[in-house]
Structure 1
Amino acid sequence: MKRYRLLVIFLTITSTIAYGQTTMQKAIAKAWPASVRMWGYDTATKQQMSAQFSAVVVSAEGDILTAAHTSTPGKTYRVMFPDGKEAIALALGKIEMADDPTIPDVSMMKIITPGTWPYAEMGYSSSLQLNQPCISIAYPESLNQALPGVRLGIITSLGNERGFLQSTCAMEPGDSGGPLFDELGRVIGIHSAISVEESLNYEIPVDLFRKYRTALATAKKYNAFPANADNVGKDPLQMRVNTPPAFSTAKNACLLITSQVKDKQENIYGTVISPFYVISKSSMVGSEPVIHINNKTFKAAIIRRDREKDLVLLKMDAPVKDGISLAKVKPDSISFKQLGQFLVSPRLDTANAVSIVSTLPFSLPKINSTGFLGASIAQKSGPLLLTFVRKNSPAAANDLKVGDEVISINNVTLHKAENFTAALQQSWPGDTITISLKREGSIYTKQVVLDEKPKIPATHPAEMFAGGKSSRRDGFERVFAHDAFLAPNQCGGPVFDAAGNFMGINIARYSRTSTLAIPSEIIREFMQELAF
C-alpha cells in the first residue's frame, strides 16, 4: 500500500511538471513568430540609427507594441522577425508624462512594408493574478543573436506605485519593448525597466495599449494620458495559476572543487562522470585541485584541459556514486521544440536553480576573453602607429610608447589596422606574444605576456546583479543559454531536464538574463576523445 501511495504521488508530480512544461512550450510556439528585433533605420542610407530593442506585432496588418523610450514618433525602424522576414515600421504615438518621462512608457508602431505579418494575441493585464507564470521572448543586446531568448517567471506585483506590473522574467538592455506573455501565448505586458536584483523587472500593462490604441495611431508624443480612451473590455478567459514546479535531483553528480589560481583561492562546481572523473570550468581550476565530497577532501589529477571549451577533466582515486553515465548521455542537440523546457541546476549551498531552455545552441565569438595588451592604434590607413598605451598594462610594462609603429605580431606582418585587432583576438590571457615595432627608424622586438581585460565599473543596474559575470564567458563554439540565476562560482556543475536527463554543463554566467551551458553532446565528444 505504501509503495502504491508513493507511485501515485510520483505520477502526480511528473504529470504536473509535464503539463506545465507542455503548456509553456505551446505558448512559446504560438508567441515566438511575432516577437521581433528592431532598431532605428535610415531608409535612404540604409544605416542603423539606434541601439537594438525588442517589440511584438499584434495584428496581421503590422501593429507593433513597444516601449516609448525606444521610439521617436515619425521615425522609421527596421523590423526583424525570427523566421528571417524583415520590414520597415513607422513610429506612431507614445506617452511620456511631462513630469516623469519614464512612465507609462507606452508606444506603438506600424509596419509600412506591404504584407501580412505574424502576430500575437493581446491579453488583459486586469485579469492577471499574483504568482501567475509568464514568459519573456526578447533580444538581449549582450548576446547579439538574430533569434530571441526565452525566459520564464511569475507575476509578483499587479501594479506598483509607478503603474508597472512586476515579474521575475529577467531583462537587460536590448529587451526593452519586448513582450511578456501569459500561458496562452497572449501579450500581457511590455518590458520597460529593471532594478538591480534579477527578480525585479517592470512591465507596461497591456491594458494601457488597449485603452489608448486609437490615440496612439497618431504619430505624436503625449505628455499626459490622451483624452480619447477606448473600452478595454474584460478577459473572456479565466486563467488558472500554475506555479512553476520545484525540482530535486541527485546532488552527488555535483561537487565542490577548490584550488589556487593566480595566488587566489577559487571555488567552483564540478560534474561527476561515473565513476572516477570530474569535469569543470578550466579557467577556475588551478594546478593542484582539491575535491570536496561529504565533508572529506581528495586530491585530483588533471588529465586534460581544453582552452577553447574552457573544460578541465580531473580524475579521482576513489569512485563516486550517482555520477553521470556516459552511456546515458544523449548525442542529440537541442531543438526548437525544447525551448521552454524546464531545467534544474544543482547548487550545493542552497536550493537548486530552476530555469528553462532559452535559446537554440549558438556560437559566441571571443570578445571579452581575448588577451589584453593595453595599447591601441587608429583605425585608418597608413603606418600602424600606437595612439594609446594604458598605464599599468602589459604594453606599458614592456615600454611600448605612443608613436611606435607596429610591424608584426607573432612574426606575421600587419598591413591594415584590422590586422592588429584580429591578431590580438586570437590570443588568450596569459599568452605570450612576440610584437615587433619601429621607433625612430630602429626595429625592436618584445615578448609580452597578455593579461585579462580590466573590469569596467558597473553603471547600469543590468551590470550590478549579485555575483556578477564570469570572467571567461565567451569564445565558445557551441553553447545554449538558460535563465538560471547562478553565481560564477556555481558554474562547472551539471544541468538536467525535468526527467533527470543530463543536458550539459554550466560554463559561464554571461549576463543578468543568461547562464551559458555546453550541451551534453559536446561533453560526450570531449570524453570520447580520450578513448575511454
Structure 2
Amino acid sequence: MKLSSLRFFKEIVFAACLAVLAVGESPAKVLTPDFVDLAEKLKPTVVNISTTKTLTPQFRMRRQPSPFPDPFQDFFEHFFEEMPRRPQRERSLGSGFIISKQGFIITNNHVIAGADEIKVRLSDGREFKAEVKGSDEKLDLALIKIDAKENLPVAELGDSAQIKVGEWVMAIGNPFGLAQTVTAGIVSATGRVIGSGPYDDFIQTDASINPGNSGGPLFNAEGKVIGINTAIVAGGQGIGFAIPVNMAKDVLPQLEEKGKVTRGWLGVTMQPMSPELAKSFGLEGEKGALITDVVKDGPAANAGLRSGDIILEFDGKKINEMSELPRLVAAEPIGKAVKIKVLREGKPREFTVSVGRLAESGDENNQKTAGDAFGLSARELTKDLAARLGLKESRGVVVTGVKQGSIAELGGFQSGDIILEIGDKAVATVMDYEKLIKEYGKGDVVRFLLRRGDSNYYLALRIE
C-alpha cells in the first residue's frame, strides 16, 4: 500500500508540473493586462472636447400630427411667429486623442460638426482653442489642431486588422462630462454593420462607453489605438462600437492636406444576397453584391454593367458580403481601371471600370439619394439599427436623419419615423423608397404614411 501511494503521489506531482509548463508556454493568453500602468501611461494622450453652437429658433410648434382639426393651431402659430427670435447657445461634450506632437487630434465628426467654438482640455487641466483641419461625415471622423507651444504626448496607432474577438481593450474618455474616465473590457465582435452609413465596419466592445466617450480611443493591451469610440445602443448595456483605426489611417493624409476625403464611386445601388435570390440567379452560396440599379452615364453604366448583375470580385478581391464593396470602391484612386467579375444570367463575365469620384456635400454634381430633395436620409432597418433607435419593428425603411431647416423638418419628419407608404404604394425597401420618390417632380406634393411609436399618420411635402 505504501508503494502504491508513493507512485500515485509521483503521478500527481508530474501532472501538476506539466500543467505549469503548459501555462508557461503562452502567458500572454492568460495574463490580464496591467490596466493601472496602461492608464497612467495613456491618459495624457486623451483630451476632453467641449463645443459651443449658436442655434436660431424656428418658432414652429412641434405638434404631433392629428386626424382631427385644431381650431387653435393658427392662433398659436401666428402668436409665436410674432415673438422676437433670440439665438440660443448649445453646448456638447466629447473626447479625442493626440496623434502628433504638434497638436493634431482625432475625434468624431459629430462631436465638432457645426460648432462655433471648440475647446480642448488636456489631462493636466490646460485648455486650448482648437481649429478644424478636416472632417469626414461619411466615416464620422474629424481632425482638429491645438497650438500648445510645446511637444505633446502622442497615442500610438495600432493595426485594427490584427484584433481578435475576446482580446482585452481599454477606453478612456469623457462620459457624461466625467473627465479622464477609464473603462476596460473585451472585443465582443468585429465587422459590425449597424446602419450608420455605407462604410459600416465597427468593432463591438463591452468596455463601458457612454455619451461623451465619442471620439475617444479604444486601446489594446499593448497601449496602441485600435479604434475610435463612436456609437452605443440606446438603452443597451455593454454594447459599444468603435471605428477601426485602419479606416482612420487611410483618410488622415487627405484630411490634413485637403480638409476633406475624396472617394471612389461606381454609380450603382445594391442589395445583399439571400438564399432565395441566390437560387433564382443560379448562384451557389449567398456571396456577392446584387446590382439593383445603375446610374445613367456613371462608371458602371459606361463599362456595361446592368441591373441583375452580381458582383463577385472587385480588383481581385472576393466579395463575400455586400457591405464590403463600398469600402473597397471608396479606397480606390479616381480614374483607376479596375477589373470587376460578375455573374450574369448564370455565366461569369468580366468588365473593366474606370473608378469615378464620389461627390461630396455641396458639389454641383452630387450623386444625391432620393431623400435629399427633402433634407432627410432613410435606410433599411436591420436588427442592430432597430435596437439602436429603440424601435419595435426590425424591417422596413426608417428615417435616420432630418436636416435642420429642411422641407422634411418643417413638415414634421423625425428620426426614427418608419415610412410605410408613398402616395398609395407600399414601401418595404430603400429601392422602393427611391423609385417612388423619383416619380415626383418640382412643385408636386408627396404624401407619406408613417409609423411613429404605436401610431400611424400621414404627412405631405411639396417638392421645391
**In which range does the TM-score fall when normalised by the shorter chain?**
0.3 to 0.5
Pick the structure with more helix per residue: 2
For CA contacts below 8 A with separation 6 or more, give which structure has more relative contact order: 1
The TM-score, its normalising length taken from structure 1, stands at 0.36
